[in-house]
Amino acid sequence: MRSPRVPEMATQEVQPNETLTHLKTESDTLKTKLEEERAKLHDVELHQVAEKVDGLGQFIMKTRRTLKGHGNKVLCMDWCKDKRRIVSSSQDGKVIVWDAFTTNKEHAVTMPCTWVMACAYAPSGCAVACGGLDNKCSVYPLSLDKNENLAAKKKSVAMHTNYLSACSFTNSDMQILTSSGDGTCALWDVESGQLLQSFHGHAADVLCLDLAPSETGNTFVSGGCDKKANVWDMRSGQCIQSFETHESDINSVRYYPSGDAFASGSDDATCRLYDLRADREVAIYSKESIIFGVSSVDFSLSGRLLFGGYNDYTINVWDVLKGTRVSILFGHENRVSTLRVSPDGTAFCTGSWDHTLRVWA
Amino acid sequence: MSSKAQSSNNLAHARRTVQQLRIEASIERIKVSKASADLMNYCSEHARNDPLLMGIPASDNPFKDKKPCNIL
């Protein structure tokens, strides 16, 4: 379409606006095309295909261990690969390493800030990473000498311009992936503290991230206050897929064990399942009676069960394929803020604003 | 910020959005029926190795055992 004739002088002013309009139109066209392409392949619902699968029986899961010691809300926890140790972090500024079998505390570190919102165990089991309102992610090597002051060996790795919301080691102790209230995710070299890659695309705070199972390659998923879940290529920094179906903040994202899908939990009181190869949401886990937000989600080892920790103090257990709830677990006396299944799938651990952690099996 | 700078910011943002959408629109997709079947297959293949799903006897689950642990 030919642009209307305008006087020579005004052309410089008009052109940027015209290009902007062009781009807006192309952007809208692409969005519509995306929806159409996705809709074409939406030939059936997951729960319909799953009708022929056997239903699940009754589940009896109970609290088997209660870990007491934090002085304030527990905000995050992670399992060690040895399947028995747990690291947890709290609003009280403390990071504690527990032996979940015996409930003994093995290490404790006091951070210089309160609200330690993120913590992670290194794959080797020899270090933990944590951070929060200090806008940093720091790594503490774990010493076998109980008398050694861990804080002295602290290494500052990541620096964001707002709070650290989540962190995870990649498949070695050498790199850490972080997400932040500054709207970005970043990949860091632990030894040098160097920024290796940054990931821009969220329009608001990023609240959570999860790395794809190592067999499926170098990607990770993040969720944010912009209601989007983004899948990223770790090498290029490119966002390769984006999903926006939640109606509120996404507090937690977790890959399905095969790496072909991921689940999310949101303040909109639902959990959802997104299939990466179909490039769309394929299930919603919700009930009219569930009105409080989901803070964290994780799958059982086979991917058949999805555990969700909720702000109404409960844990709901969902049949991933059929979309139905199979169990509701009570025990915590305040919000469940964090939930992870153990590496060998024998148990899962929850952390709560009631200051405790519970191990369920 | 001058209006020129602002409009070039908006322009840069719009270009990035279009570029991003082009990438997302171009990926290859499979049907939900196929994706669902694959999810179901994965579940059934791994079901018997899923302790929380199958339930394992207390003697095999270190968390269910209330006696003091003997570390091997």
Residues within 8 A of B (CB atoms), A 244-283 only = 256-258, 260-261, 275, 277-280, 282
Structural domain includes residue B48: yes
Q: Picking from A1-15, A39-53, A288-302, which range would have the lowest pLDDT averaged per residue?
A: A1-15
User: Which of A56, A329, A340 is closest to B54 using CA atoms?
Assistant: A56
| Cβ count near A63 (within 10 Å) | 16
pLDDT for the residue numbered A18: 65
Instruction: Please state whether A298 falls in left (phi above 0), alpha (psi between -120 and 50) or beta.
Output: beta
Size of interface A-B (CB pairs under 8 A): 176
What's phi and psi for A201, nearest 5 deg? 165, -30
- To the nearest whole angstrom, how far is the Cα of A147 from the nearest Cα of chain B? 24
Structural domain includes residue B34: yes
| Chain B nearest-CA residue for A26 | B18
- Size (chain A), residues: 361
Structural domain includes residue A37: no
pTM: 0.91
Across the range A147-160, mean pLDDT stands at 85
Report the half-sphere exposure of A166 (CA within 13 A, side-chain side). Answer: 29
A118: β partners: A131
Structural domain includes residue B21: no
Q: CATH number of the domain at A190, please.
A: 2.130.10.10
Residue for token digits 């570029």? B19
Structural domain includes residue A80: yes
Name the residue among B36, B38, B63 with its Cβ closest to that of A346.
B63
Across the range A98-116, mean pLDDT stands at 94
| Cβ count near A260 (within 10 Å) | 20
pLDDT for the residue numbered B67: 56
Strands A219-224 and A206-211, bridge-based pairing:
antiparallel
Structural domain includes residue B42: yes
Q: What DSSP letter does each residue of A44-55 carry, written as one string?
A: S-HHHHGGGSPP
Tally the domains of chain A. Answer: 1
| Chain A nearest-CA residue for B19 | A27
Range of the domain at A114: 46-360
Do the chains contact at B63 and A65, CB–CB below 8 Å?
Answer: yes
Q: Is the ipTM of this complex over 0.90?
A: no
The identity of residue A348, as a single letter, is F
Q: For residues A158 and A188, is the Cβ–Cβ distance under 8 A?
A: yes
Range of the domain at B33: 29-53
Do the chains contact at B43 and A302, CB–CB below 8 Å?
Answer: yes
User: Which of A35, A18, A27 is closest to A244 using CA atoms?
Assistant: A35
Structural domain includes residue B45: yes
**Rounded-to-integer distance, Cα A300 and Cα A234, Å:** 26
| Chain B nearest-CA residue for A56 | B53
E strand or H helix that includes residue A179: strand A175-180
- To the nearest whole angstrom, how far is the Cα of A28 from the nearest Cα of chain B? 9
Residues within 8 A of B (CB atoms), A 188-217 only = 201
Do the chains contact at A30 and B21, CB–CB below 8 Å?
Answer: yes
Whether the CB of A38 is below 8 Å from some CB of chain B: the reply is yes
Structural domain includes residue A178: yes
pLDDT for residue A11 is more than 50: no
Q: For residues A307 and A297, is the Cβ–Cβ distance under 8 A?
A: yes
Structural domain includes residue B59: no
Structural domain includes residue B35: yes
